[in-house]
């Protein structure tokens, strides 16, 4: 029930034109391109320079383009966090006010499930941030 109510929370966000959700949806086309090109550009810059097909300067420009594209992925992950936390908050409210969860044990269980689901988004954001930092460090060493 908690997961279904969470999805209802997203439906309510859509119906109320929840600003972070609208912003995230607006970002999606750019992020889709960025996520598809970022890592291939970064890896291409490393390989092309390693085999001396391009100069280190050109390789650095290509790598930085990939890093900038990957930054859109990180931004998307960060914008996703308030969207997901808000949907979970709405889910708890829906379940409590509608009488689906009535005692403290059910409230605790619902909070645990929704918190665990939210932590997957936190982990994804943290992973993306760490990957971005890694690629920035690689770029700074290759210069």
What pTM value is reported for the model?
0.84
Q: Which sign does the torsion angle of CA 66, 71, 72, 77 carry? A: positive
Q: How confident is the model at residue 143 (pLDDT cuts 50, 70, 90)?
A: low
Residue among 7, 16, 57, 93 flagged as catalytic: 7
What is the per-residue pLDDT across 110-129, written as a single tens digit (0 to 9) for each?
999 999 999 999 999 999 99
Distances (CA, A) of 13 to 17, 82, 83: 6, 11, 8
| Residue 16 bears catalytic tag | no
């Amino acid at each position: 029930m908690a997961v279904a109510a969470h999805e209802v929370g997203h439906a309510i966000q859509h119906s109320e034109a929840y600003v972070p959700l609208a912003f995230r949806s607006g970002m999606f086309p750019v992020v889709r391109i960025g996520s598809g090109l970022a890592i291939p550009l970064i890896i291409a810059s490393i390989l092309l320079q390693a085999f001396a097909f391009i100069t280190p300067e050109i390789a650095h420009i290509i790598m930085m383009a990939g890093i900038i594209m990957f930054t859109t992925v990180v931004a998307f992950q960060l914008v996703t966090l308030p969207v997901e936390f808000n949907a979970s908050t709405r889910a708890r409210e829906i379940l409590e006010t509608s009488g689906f969860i009535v005692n403290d044990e059910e409230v605790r269980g619902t909070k645990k499930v929704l918190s665990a689901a939210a932590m997957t988004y936190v982990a994804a954001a943290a992973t993306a941030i760490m990957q971005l930092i890694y690629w920035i460090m690689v770029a700074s060493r290759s210069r």
